[in-house]
Structure 1
Amino acid sequence: MSHDSMQHFSSGLWTPLLAYAISVIGSLIGLSCMSRARAEVERRSKLLWTLFGALAIGGVAIWLMHFIAMLGFDVTSGVVKYSAPLTALSALIAVVVVGIGLSIVTLFRVTPVRLVGAGVLAGLGVAGMHYMGMSAIRFQGQLTYDLALVGVSCLIAVVAAIAAFWFTLVVKTTLARVAAGLVMGVAVTGMHYTGMAAVSVEMDATIPSPVGTDVFDLVFPVFVIGGLIVAVLLWTLFTSENDPLGETADNVG
């Protein structure tokens, strides 16, 4: 079947708007964490702030944005379920690959080659997270993809990741950080909806009724976990002047 058999905004425009807002919030927190990571002297502190940055950018700005945007996805002639384990795995992939990319920026001397390499690694990982999340969808049919648009979505993910890592190096002021967060939000949500534009559904009545978790049954635990992550990261940023564990360091971030 064609794109006419599915919807990307079945819950209204609040899903893309909320997804964008969440992506911006996660990006802003992540940029603040990375600023702290680069300012720290102790390797342990750098690692902790990098981990916090990966949770903010990979877990909130990217994966939570993806999950919220998927609340608008629906197949008009069938029931949609999700594989909870694959959905959770996609979140883990997002955090891990972003964390690896960020660690290249925070733990080593940054060169243009390393910056691009980190961005390519993280960008492809983010695209992998998106399509892993899509593979969690269960319905009486199958998804097919426009490979050209898939390639464009992967390119956007790589460019967005490189831009995100570059922002962590050059953004110094609050105003610049807000502007960077807004741009990152556009890039991340743009990648998601480009990937969704590549999707077509083909219904097949011979396939058994889908077995899995309804998307709205996943909403409560996902929002609780996401809210806790944001709250903890904000509390850490506001209460720790230097070290994320509250210890005193000579270098102030």
Structure 2
Amino acid sequence: MEGTVDGFRYGAVTPVAAYLMACLGGALGLRCIVRTLLSDQSWKPGWLALGAASIGCGIWTMHFIAMIGFQVVETRIRYDVGLTVLSLAVAIVVVGIGVFIVGYGGASTRNLSFAGVITGLGVAAMHYLGMAALHLNGTIHYAPAIVALSVVIAIVAATAALWAAVTIRGFLTSLGASLIMGVAVTGMHYTGMSAVSVHVHGRTGGPWAGDSPTSLLLPMLLGPAIFLLLAGVVVMFDPLLVLGDGDWNRASASAAHTSPQSDSLFENQDRQEVQEHRVVQARAPQDPNWAVPRGPRR
């Protein structure tokens, strides 16, 4: 018997919440990657790792918040904890590979393409690994063409996100890029979910009889959500990320203008003028009406 699949049990609540989490993870990740580009004194491995973890947690949290709204009317749904946690690890590690490739290798077309493919495949692997963690009284089938489309969307979204991370440095532009990234990642999820059909083995009672998936997923979402909150605090209190690229460059230029080297140039010029003044006084005639010439005033 074919099951009745519904991905929007709570209406627009779960899609909107999932989208916001994807945007939050993307925004934090992009700002952390930008941090390594604004200053050569940044601890690059640490900031890149924080950025990869933020993006990975954002994508994973988006997926399972959206899955709270997923139901098959004829059967209850449970989740395998081990596979669910493994999908989080896959998301962070694979996104990290792409981020480090671009962070250390630069934003060449070759690096972006390679890193985008790896990261996109990792996002898709996280999605379908999370789906493999889903247990129900039936068999899940996928439409191959739609699955392939979801993988392509994941690769394009990952490539665009990595390009934005190394190209867009202003705060507002990074925020706009994260909003677009959220659309792409959430779109990939719901494209993949549209490929799902379920063949139910036998009816197990009324709709949603027994435990709700929220009792399983909500506690698991708490850890990544707290991590994103802490990452947000780190980003908010970093002065370089708050100022943004333009303000940081202006501050650096101002500091260079008033640097000790500039001060030493003025001191040398003052010392030279004093010496010239003493020489003129030593050679001056005894005429009281004769005045010592003065150099140009600075």
TM-score when normalising by structure 2:
0.75
Aligned to 2:38: 39
2:123 to 117, 120, 126: 126
Mapped contact 1:10–1:72 kept (Cα < 8 A): yes
1:17-56 per-residue CA deviation (whole Å, 9 max, x = no partner) reads 111111111111111111012334358x111111111111
Which letter does structure 1 place at the counterpart of 2:63?
A: H
AA partner of residue 170 (structure 1): T
Give the letter aligned to residue 35 of structure 1.
V
**Distance apart, 1:170 and its partner CA:** 1.6
**SS across alignment from 2:202:** coil
1:184 paired residue number: 181
Q: CA deviation at 1:227?
A: 2.6
SS in 2 for 1:11: coil
Q: 1:74 to 1:206 in 2, by over 3 A?
A: closer
Q: Secondary structure at the match of 2:197?
A: strand
In structure 1, C-alpha distance between the alignment counterparts of 2:136 and 2:89, rounded to whole Å = 24
1:169 corresponds to: 166
| Separation (CA, whole Å) in 2 of partners of 1:129 and 1:219 | 16
Report the Cα distance in structure 2 between the residues aligned to 1:68 and 1:183, rounded to whole angstroms: 19
Structure 1: gaps (5+ residues): 208-212, 244-250
1:205 aligns to what SS in structure 2?
Answer: coil
The residue that corresponds to 2:285 in the other structure is none
Residue 235 of structure 1 deviates from its aligned partner by: 1.7
Change (3 A) 1:42 1:218: farther
Pairing partner for 1:227 from 218, 222, 225 = 225
- Amino acid of the structure 2 residue aligned with 1:98: V
- Indicate conservation of the 8 Å contact 2:36/2:44, yes or no: yes
Are 1:14 and 2:9 counterparts?
A: no
Residue of structure 2 in register with 1:144 after alignment: 141
Return the offset for 1:214.
Answer: 5.2
Q: In the alignment, which residue of structure 2 is the partner of 1:197?
A: 194
Equivalent residues of 1:40, 1:46 under 8 A apart: no
SS for the counterpart of 1:164 is helix
Q: For 2:212 and 2:48, locate their aligned partners in 1 and report how far apart those are by CA, in whole Å.
A: 34
Contact 1:82 1:214 in 2 (8 A): no
Whether the 8 Å contact between 2:61 and 2:225 is mirrored in structure 1 is: no
Aligned residue type for 1:34: I
Aligned to 1:27: 26
User: 1:229 is matched by which residue type in structure 2?
Assistant: F
**Other structure's SS at 2:198 match:** strand
Q: For residues 45-56 of structure 1, what are the structure 2 equivalents within 5 Å? A: 45-56=43-54
1:237 aligned partner, one-letter code: V
Aligned to 1:9, the other structure's residue is in SS state coil
The aligned residue for residue 234 of structure 2 is 236
Displacement of 1:135 in angstroms is: 0.3
CA RMSD of aligned residues (A): 2.3
Higher relative contact order, chain-length normalized (CA < 8 Å, sep 6+): 1
Say if 1:24 and 1:184, in contact at 8 Å, map to a contact too. Answer: yes
Tell me whether 1:57 sits opposite 2:55 in the alignment. yes
Counterparts of 2:125 and 2:221 in 1: how far apart (Å)?
22
Give the % identical residues. 39
Question: For the residues of structure 2 that align with 1:109 and 1:189, how far apart are their CA atoms?
Answer: 27
Which whole-Å CA distance do the structure 2 matches of 1:28 and 1:129 have between them? Answer: 20
CA distance in 2, matches of 1:237, 1:206: 50
Q: Name 1:81's counterpart in structure 2.
A: 78
Amino acid corresponding to residue 77 of structure 1 in structure 2: E
Contact 2:75 2:203 in 1 (8 A): no
Give distance in 1, aligned partners of 2:14 and 2:128: 19
Task: Give the C-alpha shift of residue 206 in structure 1.
Answer: 9.9
Tell me the secondary structure at the aligned position of residue 140 of structure 2: strand
Structure 2: state its 5+ residue gaps.
205-210, 242-248, 253-298
> Equivalents in 1 of 2:48, 2:96: separation in Å?
7
With normalisation by structure 1, the TM-score equals 0.88
